[in-house]
Chain A
Amino acid sequence: MKALTELFSKLVDKIRGVEYIDEATLQEIAREIQRTLLKADVPLDLVKTFTDNAVKRIREEKPPAGIPPREYLIYVLYEELVKLMGGEQPAEFKPTKKPYIVLLLGVEGSGKTTTSAKLARYLMKRGYKVGMVETDTIRPAAFDQLKQLAEKIGAPFYGERDGKDAVEIARRGVTNLKGVDVLIIDTAGRHRNEEALLQEVKAIYDAVNPDEVVLVVDATVGKLAAAQAEAFMKYLPIHTVIITKMDSTARGGGALAAVAKTGARVKFIGVGEDVEELEPFNPRKFVARLLGMGDLDALLEKI
């Protein structure tokens, strides 16, 4: 996060430093916005539309009385960034029935298993009884990994150490952990090129009929998130996205923007390896933090 924030604050400082916003300055600022977004791993097409939109608004809109043009420019930047990251409203995670079945999927190593435990922990702290199922029959000791995490947080667990059939394990998991409020099903990692594995996760989906499908995306791989999400969406719907490893220098901007494009909602970000290190995602707060929070609050109030 830190480097990304630095990047954007530099941009804001630069804007604050200009005297007048004439066409040449605007072009220069547009170029700077472009570079900043590119460094944040936002895909090129999104960067172009974003910059064009922002520049068009600056040209056409009159700042409200008492707001200097450069401050208004920052405000426009803020608004457009919030849009890019998925809109005003933070998306809530709310189990609506019992048991509420959640299916986690994503590419290899993105953080699914860790996130299963984090999400369980988050819900348990809010009074839900949460069970976890491991269906990964591919990665060695995936069973032990989730089992150890389940023990650590005190959640009921179902898995089969030498299981071969992920679909059957999922089915038996649901039967075995009937009494819980929320059931989190972890799956093996798979990517867009692994056809058989994509079929398998579709079969799990058909077998357990989950209420919410969560795609787990690694913030550090940035731009590819969109392609990954789209590939999965050919097989099953994706409702929610959790972005992990935001404690990196996090170019998470790219992943966030890419995900917003697919229509799925980002609900949480992972900010560390510990089971406690999961934060609800709020696009407005996130962008405010990017642009340097304190200042922005005052500005937003004025507008």
Chain B
Amino acid sequence: MFNRLKKAFSKFVESVVSTVKEDTLSEKDVNEVISNLYFDLIENDVAVEVADAVTEELKKRLIGVKVPRFGDKEAVVKKAVLEALIGVLSDVPDVDFYQDSKNRLETSRPVTVMFLGPNGYGKTTTLAKLAYHLQERGFRVVAAAADTFRAGAREQLEEHGRRVGFRVIGGSYGADPASVAYDAVQHARSKGFHYVLIDTAGRMHTDANLMEELRKIQRVVEPQYSIFVFDAQLGNEALEIARYYSKYVKIDGMIAAKVDAYPKGGSILTFLYTLKRPVYFLGVGQSYKDLVQFTKQEYVSQLLT
């Protein structure tokens, strides 16, 4: 996964190793090689301003690092870059969604999970995948069809429900999405379901009215988890989306979909760095099993293996 981004970092490590002259990394050493990394990050779809910020921070963290004159220079540099990168993302928590939400179930049942994000990125499919995995773990799940707008949205969720075996509440076209979601939560509460998964209509971050509507759903149902679903193939648009979405709504965690479409992986860095929220899962295909857990720790160490 993300082979090209990986290559960018190994190239960077190599060039640091070959430029370092003294036994600590000097500002000059780092400056000499960081601009290549900068362009490589952009080439791999990290948003330009995030690439700016990340290389700047990396630089700061790398200057002054001690490198032995003899012995395994590469291992030392690699470790330094790894630590620097982890440092850059230090305020992003890693959250195991299954464990975290299970803990919550002890005090509040149902746990409410809302899916949101721009058009066509994979919300509905990801919801169905999560329902599948939660049910595999023995939980009872109900879904709210709060996309009452897009043609075929309700039928799509219902068909997923039939295949995976979860019930779908509400969702006649044109209905108020907030009340659909609210009804589903009431239903789940009275019937003892563990999780309510709320599907919402895709919306462009530039549409203020639709963003307000999303905010209203959050106000009415107060979901424990609002999960932002993004297409892993995004480039610079990721930054704009992150900025606008976080202005309007609360985002607790994220899921990157379509990672199997061979994205370069830069969008994940952009979102982690900008939103400072955990990415819970990656979507890696169109079937229900294709949802894998994600940690930033693993992502970063993968980039530097």
Interface residues of chain A, those whose CB is within 8 Å of chain B, are 2-3, 35, 38-41, 43-44, 107-111, 113-114, 117, 138-149, 152, 191-194, 218-224, 227, 245, 247-251, 254, 273
Given A108-B261, A245-B119, A248-B118, A138:B155 Cβ within 8 A = no
Please, which residues of chain B bring their CB within 8 A of the CB of A224?
45, 233, 235, 261, 263-264
Does B150 have its Cβ within 8 Å of any Cβ on chain A? yes
CB distance from A225 to the nearest CB of B (A): 9
Is A245 touching B152 in the complex (CB atoms < 8 A)?
no
Interface residues of chain B, those whose CB is within 8 Å of chain A, are 39, 42-43, 45, 47-49, 118-122, 149-153, 155-156, 158-160, 163, 204-207, 231, 233-237, 240-241, 244, 258, 260-264, 286
- A293 and B262 CA atoms in complex are apart in Å by 38
B152 is contacted by which of A40, A142, A254 (Cβ under 8 Å)? A142
Is A141 touching B152 in the complex (CB atoms < 8 A)?
yes
Interface centre among B204, B206, B207 (most CB of A within 10 A): B204
- A145 and B42 CA atoms in complex are apart in Å by 37
Given A109-B231, A110-B120, A224-B233, A192:B262 Cβ within 8 A = yes
25 residue pairs bridging A and B, Cβ less than 8 Å apart? A35-B48, A38-B236, A39-B236, A41-B237, A44-B42, A108-B258, A108-B286, A109-B120, A140-B159, A142-B156, A145-B150, A145-B156, A147-B152, A149-B151, A152-B151, A191-B258, A191-B262, A221-B233, A221-B234, A222-B234, A222-B236, A223-B235, A247-B207, A251-B236, A251-B237
Interface of B is mostly: loop
Tell me the nearest residue of chain A to B210, going by C-beta: A273
Please, which residues of chain A bring their CB within 8 A of the CB of B258?
107-109, 191
Please, which residues of chain B bring their CB within 8 A of the CB of A218?
120, 231, 233
Interface centre among B149, B205, B234 (most CB of A within 10 A): B234
Is B234 touching A245 in the complex (CB atoms < 8 A)?
no
CB distance from B63 to the nearest CB of A (A): 24
- A194 and B150 CA atoms in complex are apart in Å by 27
Is A220 touching B43 in the complex (CB atoms < 8 A)?
no
Given A44-B39, A108-B286, A140-B163, A248:B261 Cβ within 8 A = no
- A-B pairs, top 9 by smallest CB distance, nearest first, are A145-B152, A109-B120, A140-B159, A141-B155, A249-B240, A144-B155, A222-B235, A141-B156, A191-B261
Is A247 touching B204 in the complex (CB atoms < 8 A)?
yes
- A144 and B153 CA atoms in complex are apart in Å by 9
CB distance from A34 to the nearest CB of B (A): 10
Please, which residues of chain A bring their CB within 8 A of the CB of B260?
191, 193-194
Given A145-B156, A192-B261, A3:B48 Cβ within 8 A = no
- A249 and B150 CA atoms in complex are apart in Å by 21
Is B206 touching A247 in the complex (CB atoms < 8 A)?
yes
CB distance from B217 to the nearest CB of A (A): 18
Is A141 touching B43 in the complex (CB atoms < 8 A)?
no
- A219 and B231 CA atoms in complex are apart in Å by 12
Is B235 touching A249 in the complex (CB atoms < 8 A)?
no
Please, which residues of chain B bring their CB within 8 A of the CB of A152?
151
Tell me the nearest residue of chain A to B121, going by C-beta: A109
- A220 and B151 CA atoms in complex are apart in Å by 22
Please, which residues of chain B bring their CB within 8 A of the CB of A108?
120, 122, 258, 261, 286
Is B42 touching A251 in the complex (CB atoms < 8 A)?
no
Is A273 touching B42 in the complex (CB atoms < 8 A)?
no
